[in-house]
Structure 1
Amino acid sequence: MEGIDHRMVSVNGITMHIAEKGPIDGPVVLLLHGFPDLWYTWRHQINGLSSLGYRAVAPDLRGYGDSDSPKSFSEYSCLNVVGDLVALLESVAGDQEKVFLVAHDWGAIIGWFLCLFRPEKIKGFVCLSVPYKPRNPNVKPIQGFKAVFGENYYICRFQEPGKTEEEIARADPRRFLRNIFTGRTPGPSILPKNDPFGENPKPNYENIELPNWFSKEDLDFYASKFDKTGFTGALNYYRAMDLNWELTAPWTGAKIQVPVKFMTGDVDMVYTTPGIKEYIHGGRFAADVPNLQEIVVIEDAGHFVNQEKPQEVTAHINDFFTKLQNSNNSF
């Protein structure tokens, strides 16, 4: 997109691609994408936030886009990915001791880890879609998902190396991406054993009308990047979930202390998963995140709320960060 700069940065033993825009001395906003996404998910926020004086920085996380893709899922642990981000901040933040954080989906999970491991780096966190869920010391994540949602829950199905990649290839990666970005099916996401992603596409499916917020050019961009990288790097984040559980044992019972604003769409697949609304609105989320300052549910928005409602989301981000800056300046 016009006006957005791109460069490669060496971080934590890998090469990472970042997109950035805004004044070099502006407050840094780190934007983290999720699955199956790229820096590109933040294209509207990069332009919007930079016009407000922020320096917006959006990486392709390891395994995605133009960043390096280590082969083993063990190289996608929370320690690896947070290590990438800490090194990235050393490169882009300059003299700024703290930065603002905005993250969505898997980026949100990594964002929670960053706030947990290095809270002194973060001024404030706007989290989209995935709330903080503390570590359960008694149950590994995949075991827990199987017990609650069954073996065909999408995260459980993603665990076997190579299998999901083959299923996506048979279904047509382009159609897989289109269906994920434009789908509005409430959670939890359960995949049928046979034909999980639709291996027999209907004739002329490419002619199906896309929503006004997601163009053919957007789909072309995503498809071109995943045609190059494949999906293994992206899926490895799910395959490292039990490993993350093992690595984070020292943080059992720890709470998130940074200021947080949580946002979601009202038909988001995560928000509509049984038990999530009760957790978010019933007090437990606030107990786990004591500095939770706002919860915003955006009407008529699905999982990719930052793309579906870009101006509204950007305004909410700016409002929260402006309040934090004004609060800090008042002392």
Structure 2
Amino acid sequence: MEGIEHKMVSVNGINMHVAEKGKGPVVLFLHGFPELWYTWRHQILAFAALGYRAVAPDLRGFGDTDAPSSITSYTCLHVVGDMVALIGSLGVDQVFLVAHDWGALVGWYLCMFRPDLIKAFVSLTVPFRPRHPTLKPIESVRALFGDEYYMCRFQEPGKMESEIAEYGAATVIKKILTGRKPGPPILPKQNPFGNFHDTDDIKLPTWFSKEDLKYYTNKYNHKGFTGGLNYYRALDLNWELTAAWTGVQVKIPVKFVVGDLDMVYTTPGMKEYVHGGGFRKDVPLLKECVVIQGAGHFINQERAEEVNAHIHDFIKEFLIV
């Protein structure tokens, strides 16, 4: 990770760790769960070499960024507030936004609340999710996928943390990152991450080294998983807070990239939304939806060069020469 600079920035009442490299137009990279700024290591180096300033924070609750204890400190308003302050600290009026997983959800909120700050958005794996006018998110997914759907299992404070602790951070991270089972993610109440005696046999994929796993494990052993899990626990509160944005379109130029084996993309109803006109109706400036064959959820790491090319081909259209 040669040449990547690390600093702490005061944003929205917390201290945020930021990794960055390069000079030029800013590309802001937002990670998901259970990840860190480190998920963007390939992108930071590539885009710095292409003449951009690549910036990747640890979101609140993750890595070396502060982790407030209250669930109510993890709403979309808090996290978008962090990003607005971070962009302001960079000394620029607008950024290119690239985001994955939970970071993409934060990205959609950022585009919805502060479109003036975003030149263009590349969303990886998570399309826009319009607010349902009457159904809260957790009751909705529980009705569709049952109590063992991962978002439902994450709701009780402390419960998932204790289950993760039984396996250990390294095993859980390895299990999540190597998982390629399509469809809605289910965490059984018994052995949610597999049989204990089998977990040592999980082989790392070629795109994720032992050194990568060690970095993640060290950070999660220090910070814990509660910050990341609190994003899921604030989903219903987000629904309440965003009532005023019901039916609002996201009017930012967008490119969507997803793997055909992705757990979100293969969840029932998602392909129909992405390709059937619903996505474009909600995001009228959606330029393209790219489906990468044979790729799973963590495409920015698994298919880094291919994803980098898709990102650059899109954002370079918006450069002012």
Question: When the two structures are superposed, what TM-score results if normalisation uses the length of structure 1?
Answer: 0.95
CA displacement 1:170-209 (0-9 Å, x = unmatched): 122211000101111112011112111236233xx54643
Query: For residue 285 of structure 1, what is the amino acid of its counterpart?
Result: F
Within the candidate set 160, 164, 167, 2:163 is matched to 167
1:223 Cα offset (Å): 0.3
CA shift digits 1:137-179 (9 cap, x unpaired): 1100001011111111000010000000000011222110001
Q: Deviations over 1:44-89 (max 9, x none)?
A: 0000011000000000000000000000110000000000000000
Task: Verify: 1:146 aligned to 2:139, yes or no.
Answer: no
Matched residue SS, 2:196: coil
Deviation at 1:112, TM superposition (A): 0.2
244-253 vs 165-174, which moves further: 165-174
**What letter matches 2:12 in structure 1?**
N
Instruction: Say yes or no: does 1:10 pair with 2:10.
Output: yes
SS in 2 for 1:319: helix
- Paired-residue identity, %: 63
Counterpart in 1 of 2:294?
A: 300
2:235 alignment partner in structure 1? 241
Instruction: Decide whether the 8 Å contact of 2:30 with 2:100 is kept in 1.
Output: yes
Q: TM-score, normalised by structure 2?
A: 0.98
Kept in 2, the 8 Å contact 1:171–1:199? The answer is: no
Structure 2 unmatched runs, 5+: none
Check the 8 A contact 1:158/1:238 in 2, yes or no.
yes
Decide whether the 8 Å contact of 1:171 with 1:198 is kept in 2: no
Q: Is the 8 Å Cα contact of residues 174 and 202 (structure 2) preserved in structure 1? A: no
With over 3 angstroms needed to count, the CA separation of the structure-2 counterparts of 1:207 and 1:194, relative to structure 1, is closer
Q: Give distance in 1, aligned partners of 2:163 and 2:201.
A: 23
Alignment length (residue pairs): 321
What letter corresponds to residue 88 of structure 1 in structure 2?
L
| Contact 1:32–1:39 (8 Å) recurs in 2 | yes
Partner of 1:67: 65
CA–CA separation in structure 2 for the residues paired with 1:286 and 1:13: 36
Matched, 1:22 2:22: yes
SS at match of 1:271: coil
Counterpart residue type for residue 192 of structure 1: P
Deviation at 1:306, TM superposition (A): 0.3
Q: Note if contact 1:170-1:199 (Cα within 8 Å) is conserved in structure 2.
A: no
Structure 1 residues 3 and 207: CA distance shift in structure 2, 3 A: farther
Q: Which runs of 5+ in 1 are unaligned?
A: none
Structure 2 CA distance, aligned partners of 1:75 and 1:209?
A: 36
Selected match of 1:324 from 314, 318, 321? 318
AA of the residue aligned to 1:14: I
Aligned partner of residue 246 in structure 1, secondary structure: helix
Distance in 2 (CA, whole Å) between partners of 1:298 and 1:165 is 33
Supply the AA of the counterpart residue of 2:114. Answer: R
Q: Structure 2 matches for 1:35-54, cutoff 5 A? A: 35-54=33-52
Aligned CA-pair RMSD: 1.0
Do the aligned partners of 2:184 and 2:263 also contact (CA within 8 Å) in 1? yes
Residues 239-292 of structure 1 deviation map (CA, whole Å, 9 limit, x = unaligned): 000000000011011000000000001101101111101100001000000000
Specify the alignment match of 1:264 in structure 2. 258
Say which SS state the counterpart of residue 87 (structure 2) adopts. Answer: helix
Deviations 1:269-325 (A, max 9, x none): 101111101100001000000000011111111000000000111111111011122
Contact 1:33 1:41 in 2 (8 A): yes
